[in-house]
Amino acid sequence: MFLQADGLAGPGVVQLFMPFIIMIAVFYFLLIRPQQAQQKKRQEMLNALSKGDHVITAGGLYGEITALKEDYATLKIADKVEVKVSRSGIGSVING
């Protein structure tokens, strides 16, 4: 506690740090937590990939998975045209 010139007590330590505590809580609930949920959802999508899935890569290529390895997937993007793509480069799976 701080004593002011007139003898009254000043603000407590908790009151001094309350704005910082509130800012940290806001950052956690608005930025960090949603990002962690999004990363978890993406990892589940990448783990669930299987042969025959239609996908879109991060670069915008549409293709069908013809083979899966631990680090990469082989996509058929046209007749007699297959490319190897890093698993992390797959942006989304197309339903249907």
Averaged over successive runs of 10 residues, the pLDDT of the chain (96 residues) comes to 54 86 94 95 94 95 95 95 95 86
Could you tell me the CA-to-CA distances from 57 to 48, 49, 90 in Å, in that order? 15, 13, 4
Helix (H, G, I), strand (E, B) or coil at 83: strand
Contact 87, 75 (CB under 8 A): no
State residue 12's pLDDT score: 80
Cα–Cα distance for residue pair 61/10, rounded to 1 Å: 64
Residue pointed to by tokens 């669930």 = 48
